[in-house]
Structure 1
Amino acid sequence: MTNRYRRHNELMIRIGLGGVDDEENPRAILWGKRLEWPMLLLAIWIILDWYLKAKGLSDPFFTQFTDWFIWTCFSAELSIMLALVDDRWRYLRQNWLNPIIILTGIPVLFGVDLFYSGVLRSLRLLIMLGILLKVSQDLRQILSRHHLGKTMAIAFLFLVISGFLISGIDPAFKGPLDGIWWAWVTMTTVGYGDLVPSTTEGRLFGMLLILAGIALFSMLTASFSVFFIERDEKEMVEKEDRNIQRIGQLEARLDRIEHHLARAVTTLERLEALEARERSPRQSEKADPSQKPSEPE
């Protein structure tokens, strides 16, 4: 585990969103990863709910339905993970924010107006930011693997979230469409200037969005560059593999030819040896004329 990954996990544990520990069983780790993306969709729902409440567009029935839906999702995730993990106390200790939201949200669900109702909704926004931080490790892995489609989808998701946030923070934006348009031209560092934040909070958010846009589009540019470079390298590697295969075939043919030549040379040497043996007695007889055949008596 690298130092960066360790620091990331320590930060998530401190804010109560540590997730599943690496020492847990494989099934719990697998389900922890599977539940990250549904919880990310829940984070988008929390942003939409926060925007509607900030603009006064939600009715009491929708507010109650949203509270029950969010509470049910948090309860379901906690129940599933507690049933799968081996060390439940460690999981609760590393994810202490989820039980707090579930327990403090029970009176609110039944219409009890308590002093911490607004704090509870702020905690939901904190949960949303935590979920985004939680999948940041997956985001880095995706970018490192150059999956351009997923990278573009994540960039678009970040763009939509930023549009909703700025439209709820700054009164200069009439609706989410204005916020999304402003987020688009801000992240791309184009800056038409037709929509400008009028509050200090909006300007601070714009500064952060500019930095995020520079970093994001730099990574996209690098990913596109690496994509085309890898594609060219892949073609070169395929050509080299074909050439290596042909060279291997030629070497195999040369080996077979050399083997046949070696056998032919061995056969010729044996034939020459046999001929030499046959010629040697004849030559010895011709070389000793004193030996004559005996005459009959």
Structure 2
Amino acid sequence: MNLKALLGVAGVHRKESPRARSVGRTFEYLVAIAVLLVFLQLVLSYTHFPIEYAWLDRVLWGVFVAELVVNLILVQDRSRYLLHNWLSVLIVLVAAPWISWQGDWALIFRALRLVLFLRFVSTFFQDVLLLLKRNRFGQILSGFAFLVIGSGGIFSYIEQRPIIDGIWYALVTITTVGYGDVVPLTQEGRIFGSVLIVFGVMFFSLVTANFSAFLIGSDQRKLEREILNYVRQTEKRLATQSLQNEKHVESIMLHSTQQIDRLKEELHRYRALEEYLLDMQQKADPVPEEFTTLKESSDQPSISNEGRANPYSHVGPSPFSSPHLSALQDIEHELLSVKRKLR
């Protein structure tokens, strides 16, 4: 459990659904605006122009209630959300507009909502730490602070002024703001101010350049991540399509092999039938029962000129005479060549 979860300001967990996280981010902006209004209301309560509107308190309370209720509806693990956002539940309960808190208690419970700033401050500090780690920005920023403080001390010594005035002068000079409320009055102070302007502006440009590079680099890294995700998704789609194509080719080859084997069996059976018929014609034996299916009609056998029945008169010319046999052999050779190509 991280620090934000311990403080009760974690928001929607990263393991929740995309819709819940998207709605949670939208409510974070609304809560940030509400917390800012609470801060202004608290600060102005110590001035002569306080903001005391009953409708404003109801609107602010409604924002916190809406965030809590909507997120509880969308998240899958409600117990985890309540555990990591216990402060939101407490704010909704104790900061209800119909509960009239008096004196210091009203100030305490009103300021309690400012703790929600930690949700946004923690994210901000994470970005700051990331910025300081890149391009040695932390070292550059430390050098900038050293330059401001050191220059302020030198200016204070030359002009015999308080150190706070020297630091203020160095800061507004290096950042090229130049308010003009603190200026060098001696000749030595003006010379030092001229040197500080030249080197200070150069150093400050280095700071702003690193900050700009961080902002541009963030957009570039985001674009690179999107491109990388697209490439990975494309690779997955291509791998799936390739696997499907391989399975399809395998099924086609298997079917073709089965068809070739079946045709070879038919060819072998027809050759055996032809050999048997030729042998029977030479021996003048009757045709066996299993080959009578070749007869297409139930006509009576014809009588030969010699006066006896011819048992093969109904068969007609053999389909396996030499022209038919050569054609079948050609078909067999073609099928074998096709099978070799498929393999």
- The TM-score with structure 1 as length reference comes to 0.44
In our comparison, the structure showing a higher alpha carbon Rg is 2
State TM-score, norm by structure 2: 0.38
